[in-house]
Structures are given as structure tokens and as C-alpha cells.
Chains A and B, each alone.
Chain A
């Protein structure tokens, strides 16, 4: 029994740390980030990548893997107030978040310079000038180990600004999936869900086409697979046997559905 509904479900976009895929680019980024996070000097770290390449998954994975060895502060959305940010840091450190701004800062510097930690801020391209400047000031104290994840384009613009350009920082870029990784990802996900029969229906030609349309973008790939299985499910339910199996037309239709293909 071909369960396309289940196949579509497993490709739903979720960021829960269970979806990390060990692509060559992701593995390389993870290794570099973990090694930079363990260096004695606390430099400002940047994780750059296009939307959907898997930066959030990466932060989630690093968070899980380093949790036992240090304090991990993972901000999935950026903060917009320096005070609330300090309060959050002190809260994670089980320290009091009461007092003046300068007091909170001193308390945070005191705690984080003494304790191994990693503060990760996702979607940091959304931070405003004031917040970025505040982070820069915190980084200058050499007490905080900060990792900012942001979109490539905006990230490069931020890094080009004098207050970051002139300061010591490290940049790690996440790339896209290779064609063979697209094949490995789809097959492994389907097999892990017990859908070997569906996995076997895909040929290398299909995978190459899927890679071409998605350009190796992780999120787009998942959306496309989801759409493709929904289309096949529809065909199956309506007796359209020509379209109830993976084919070039079905891949094209899914690409059109996501506006990846103009036709």
C-alpha cells in the first residue's frame, strides 16, 4: 500500500533537532562552529546561509550536542531590547535579573566570563542597529561567546559595517545540498519512515530534476517533496494512474506548484 499521505507528512518543515541531515556542507559547518566555540579566545561567530539551507537545524543540532558540556542559550528569535536580552541571559544563568542596566551587564559579564557557554541568536539579520551595537559592546568585553545566525545577503551587509569589520570575528557559511545528497536525503527519510516501496519508485533522473528545481535548498526540497506526494495522492484517489507514481510530469507539477518553474 503506497501511503503518500504519510510520505507528504514526513517532509513537513519542522525545526526540532531531529531533522538534521549530515550533508557535506552541514557537517563541515558544524565541525568548524564547534571547534571555534571551543577556542580560548571568545570571538564573535557568524553563521551565514541562504534562507532554507538549514541554519536553524544546525543551531538546534549544536545546541543538543553541546548541551552537557556548557551552558547553551538558544534564542530562536532575535530580541529587540538590550535589557530583555540581558535579563534572558541572567535567567538562563539562574542569576537575578533585577536592577539597573549597568548592574545587569556587570552581573552577566561576571557570570559568563567564568562559565563556559554559547549564546546562539537565530535570524539575527532582523536585529536593528541599536541591538547590533549592543552585541558588539558585549563582545568587546571578551566575556561572551556569541553565535549569530543570519541570511547571507543581510549578514554580509552587516559584516561590512565598520563596527564589525574592524573587530575580530569568524564567519562560517552553509552551502546547499549536492545532487547525490538530495537523493540520499529523500531515500533515507522515506526508508526511515518504512516507505521503502515509495523510495524505490524514484530514479536518479527524478532526483537530478528535483535537485535542479530546488537548487539544493533544504527547505524548498522538503516543500517540493510534500507537494509531489500530495499530487500523487490526489491522482491515486481519482484513478489517474499515470500521475500516481513519480514521473517527470509530477516533478514539474510540484515545481510549478511552488512557483519554481514558470510554464
Chain B
């Protein structure tokens, strides 16, 4: 006879219930999180949509035809696509403000040009945004374009929107405060990194990383910032951790370079 059988059985059943409730709570939390994420990303799109609508009037104000406006926008988009991507193009973890051009630094550079050029750029931006909007609104212009051109334009529109989003750190910080998104956190991290503020770059890369563990860019910038701060072991550990989780050529080569040094 086991004198404590009933008491143990009760405890066992209570534990089972506790585990089950815990799992249900976890699952509910996960579902809520997914729903919230879907809602946030959905509202983000709608906000951008509002932005586009606000500049729909621009071509009419400028007096240009939609086709001409679109042509101009394509030119601008081509230019913007020439700007190399941040991080991925950098083999050296040390900051290279002169050579490591990013979307943001590209913008900063363009803003540092003469006022006339700045005005011209602003005008071009207005034109291109209106072109994007008109493209959405005017079914005629869509009909003129072949299918592959449509997808190309979509891509360009995405790049243009990204440039727009990344233009100002304070705007990005506010944007993140309102709606924490991976892309925003990553851009903030990149801006800080380019400015040589590695502490903040590390902090924001970490925030981005929490929001999306799959994208290597946050991992890399996180590791590079730590490396730039002299915390080399930690930087290597971050990359190793990422490589255990997911294979990445970039992370591997970076780790190899650091190990050789």
C-alpha cells in the first residue's frame, strides 16, 4: 500500500491541468500576437495608401500627363535602385562612412547637395510619388503597360516608399513608437551604424532581431556593431548563434574574417 497515492494523484492531475492551461494560454497569446501583427501590417499598408492618395493630386497640379509622369518616375526609381544595399555590401565590420553607402546615406548625400538640386529632387520625388499614385488610380496607364513592367513598377514603388520611410531618423523613431516593425527598427539600426553610433546601432539591431529572427540583416548589423564596440567575442557569439539557427554565407564569411584577425 502506498499511503500517499491519492495525494500524489491529486497533485499529478493538478499539474496536468496547469500544464494544459499554460499551453492554452501560450497558444492564445501566440494567436493574439499573430492577429495583432497581421492587423499592424495591414494598417501600415493602409497608412501608406493614404499617403499615396494625398499626392494623387500632384500631377494635376503640375499639369503633367500621367504617361510623362510615369516615365519620370521610372528614371528616378532606376537611380534609386543603383544605391547599394546596406550591410550586405560591406565585408569589413569597421564603419566606412565614405564608401559604405546605404539607402539612408544616399539620401543624406543627396540632401547635402546644392539647394537647387535639392529642390529639383523634391520636385522629382513629388512627380514620382504622383506617378505611383496615378498608376494605381488610372486604369488606362495600367492597361498600356505589359505585365512584367507592372511588377517592375511595383518593385520601384516599394523602393521609393522605403526611401521615403528612411529619410528621417526622428520620423522613423516616431514611426517605430507608433507601430514597432522589423523594417523600421532595422533602418534605425543602419542609420546609427552609419553615423558611427554603434551602441544605438546594436540596440536597434537587437530590437529588429526580436521582431524577425529569420532575416540575417539584423543579426549581421548587431554582430558588426558589437565588433565595432570592441566586444569581439560577443560579436562572434552572435554570428555563431545565428549560424546554428540558420545558414548564412554572409555570417560565415564575416566570422571567418574575424577569426583570422
Contact = CB atoms under 8 A, between A and B. Distances in A.
Interface in B1-22: 1-2, 4-5, 8-9, 11-16, 18
Contacts of B4: 257
A234 B11 contact: no
A166 B74 CA distance: 81
A256 B5 contact: no
A233 B12 contact: no
Q: How large is the interface on A (under 10, 10 to 19, 20 to 34, 35 or more residues)?
A: 10 to 19
Contacts, number: 34
Contact of B12 (A230, A237, A238, A249): A249
A231 B1 contact: no
B6 to A, nearest CB: 9
A200 interface: no
B18 A237 contact: no
A231 B18 CA distance: 22
Interface residues of B, number: 13
Given A263-B15, A263-B18, A230 B2 contact: yes
Nearest to A238: B5
B43 to A, nearest CB: 43
A253 B1 contact: no
Q: Is the interface of B mostly helix, strand, loop or mixed?
A: helix
A234 B7 CA distance: 13
A256 B12 contact: yes
Contact of A252 (B2, B5, B12): B12
Nearest to A235: B5
A243 B1 contact: no
B11 A256 contact: yes
A256 B2 contact: no
Interface string B65-90: 00000000000000000000000000
B1 A257 contact: no
B3 to A, nearest CB: 9
Identify the interface centre among B12, B16, B18: most chain A CB within 10 Å of its CB: B12
A253 B12 CA distance: 6
Nearest to A261: B15
Contacts of B14: 263
Contacts of A233: 2
Contacts of B1: 234, 237
19 contacts: A231-B8, A233-B2, A234-B1, A234-B2, A238-B5, A243-B9, A249-B12, A249-B16, A252-B12, A253-B5, A253-B8, A256-B8, A256-B11, A256-B12, A261-B15, A263-B12, A263-B14, A263-B15, A263-B18
Given A231-B2, A263-B12, 6 more contacts: A230-B2, A231-B5, A231-B8, A233-B2, A253-B9, A263-B18
